Amino acid sequence: MKDLLNNNKFIKIGEFVLLFIIAFGFIKIFTPFAGDNIVHKQLVIWFANILMLIYVWIGIKVRGQKLTYFGISFGKITLKECFRTFLISIGVFIAAVAAFILGSIIMANISGIPESSDMSNYEYLQDNIGMLILTLIGTYIVASFGEEIIYRGFIINRLIELGLDSKFGRSLVIIISAIIFGLVHYQWGPMGIVQTGFMGAVLGYFYLKLKKRIWILILAHGYMDTILMLQMYLSGN
């Protein structure tokens, strides 16, 4: 059974497709129950991401793979290694922010309108320190950690397993994963899709460049999410 799951490309493609069917099916079914409440809408998206994480974890267990295959490890590290990881994560963060901004510039030139991302789903954070703290905690788990596991760890590795392990193949995998990452942020509007797509390309590049050291990407993603949430909190002023 494990050999079939690990070697059959059609099963891997089916697993890949089913992941998004489950997530978007959940969002489609439960979003109407949220009504116009933007907090409830955000919770629906979070739960969809949690379902994706569970799905990915089940896939790893069924295949007999270890979490380290995707770069997830919980071993002890030294203070020196922590500091080194932090410094590298800052570099990745800067590169991801630069890509995010580059996406904005390119999209503005294409559309001719410097339209910003649609962040209306986060308006509940304005001048609300309690919701800011709760949202940051949820975002670190669902977005910073969850999205890196799903869109870098899972998607990139599964695509490589489909025969895209050459230099060109890996470049193509980074592009595909970045496009998917951008598209899943469709609620941010066209500008948001392009911005997150460029950001995803940089994170995907570093995922492979740093030999799947995914905690570095999780930290970098967390810095970006923190800045974004703080911006929304302060926007009320």
Q: Which residue has the tokens 């267990």?
A: 61
Q: Do residues 107 and 216 lie in contact, with contact meaning Cβ atoms separated by under 8 Å? A: no
Show the tokens assigned to 158. 């599964």
Q: What is the mean pLDDT of the chain?
A: 89
pLDDT of 1-46, one tens digit each? 666 667 777 888 888 899 999 999 999 999 999 888 888 888 999 9
As a whole-number percent, the residues of the chain with pLDDT over 70 amount to: 95
Note the pLDDT of residue 50: 94
Calculate mean pLDDT across residues 137-164.
Answer: 92
Instruction: Give the rounded distance of the alpha carbon of 65 from its chain centre.
Output: 22
Show the tokens assigned to 50. 């949690």
Q: Which residue has the higher pLDDT, 90 or 131?
A: 90
Show the tokens assigned to 118. 């649609």
Note the pLDDT of residue 123: 84
Note the pLDDT of residue 164: 87
Calculate mean pLDDT across residues 69-96.
Answer: 89
Of 24-38, 120-134, 150-164, minimum mean pLDDT range: 120-134
CA distance 66 to 75: 13
Show the tokens assigned to 144. 């910073």
Note the pLDDT of residue 16: 87
Q: How far is CA 54 from CA 20, 41, 48, in A?
A: 13, 20, 10
Note the pLDDT of residue 124: 85
- Nearest 5 degrees, angle CA 22-CA 202-CA 81? 100
- Mention every residue, 6+ apart, whose C-beta is less than 8 A from residue 85: 77, 213, 215, 216, 219
Calculate mean pLDDT across residues 92-119.
Answer: 85
**Which pLDDT band holds residue 144 (cuts at 50, 70, 90)?**
very high
**Which pLDDT band holds residue 126 (cuts at 50, 70, 90)?**
confident
What long-range pairs does 162-168 form, CB within 8 A, spacing at least 24?
A: 162/9, 162/12, 162/13, 163/9
pLDDT of 36-70, one tens digit each? 888 888 899 999 999 999 999 998 888 888 888 88
Q: How far is CA 13 from CA 10, 58, 71, 158, 165, in A?
A: 5, 16, 21, 8, 16
Q: Which residue has the higher pLDDT, 67 or 134?
A: 134
Q: Which residue has the tokens 């975002």?
A: 139
CA distance 101 to 109: 13
Task: Classify the C-alpha dihedral 87-153-177-168 as positive or negative.
Answer: positive
